[in-house]
Amino acid sequence: MTTPTLTGPNQSVSRATDARVSVRDLRVRYSEAEPLVLDGVDLDLHSGETVALLGSSGSGKSTLMKALTGFAPITSGDVRVGDVDVARLRRGQLRDLRAGVGQVFQQFNLIGRLSVLTNVLTGSLHQAGPVNVFGTFRSADRRRALELLDRVGIAHKAEAEARSLSGGQQQRVAIARALMQNPRVILADEPVASLDPKMSRTVLELLQSIARDEGIPVLVSLHVLPLALAHSDRIVGLRHGEIVVSGRTADLDAEQLAPVYEIDEEEEED
């Protein structure tokens, strides 16, 4: 299949020196008996940009995100977050890496019985130390958490239990928690899959504004093509573990992105 790559003929060969995250020729296989989940993937994430990762279920989107933090095996290739070679990290070093990567999930992953403020403060635990699990968060961290809640538009819910909030509100808390880590990059894996269309747009607008205003690259995986076209700077499309589309969002349309969701003849027969 011809890949309509619109970002320049040499991008897959040369490494961008200003990339916060850089992936070259990444292959991932979970076991020798299984096929490759990712096959020859190249990706750069730059400061201030939002990159939408498109693909059907099983295309490798979640595996790519896991490879960036060492949760998926790097069978071959090169993955770097900042100047860190992810494949060479040991367990303790991986914990340090993950503490610097903000992650936003479909199911929010909040502690429902704790307050919104405390949930955000958990994003500072790696830096502040385990004693803070017992509630003795530093004043500076509390001020920062409140500032972040204001940034995502939900400071008025700081003392409410997280489980009392709507889905969209909980996702904004999760974004504030990710920012509390002072992340190098934010990985948002299907962050709007459980939200209604209006709140989906609100959350994606928030993520894009954070990328732009804070200079933090955001990689967001999505299923819905119109959302990707409306709320990203670049789009990368995966199919069967390979990149089939890559380009600036402004240069792409639904027809050019069709290869991401094409159905193979053998799939039609199933």
Give mean pLDDT in consecutive 10-residue pieces for the chain, a chain of 270 residues: 40 55 96 93 96 93 96 96 92 91 93 95 75 66 95 96 96 96 95 93 96 96 93 96 96 92 54
Q: Provide the pLDDT for residue 135.
A: 54
Q: Provide the pLDDT for residue 124.
A: 86
CA torsion through residues 189, 190, 192, 197, sign: positive
Q: What pTM does this model have? A: 0.88
Q: Provide the pLDDT for residue 3.
A: 44
Superfamily of domain 31-100+183-270: P-loop containing nucleotide triphosphate hydrolases (3.40.50.300)
Which sequence spans correspond to the domains of the chain? 31-100+183-270, 112-182
Q: Give the span between the Cα atoms of 84 and 217, in whole angstroms.
A: 16
Q: Provide the pLDDT for residue 264.
A: 53
Q: Provide the pLDDT for residue 2.
A: 39
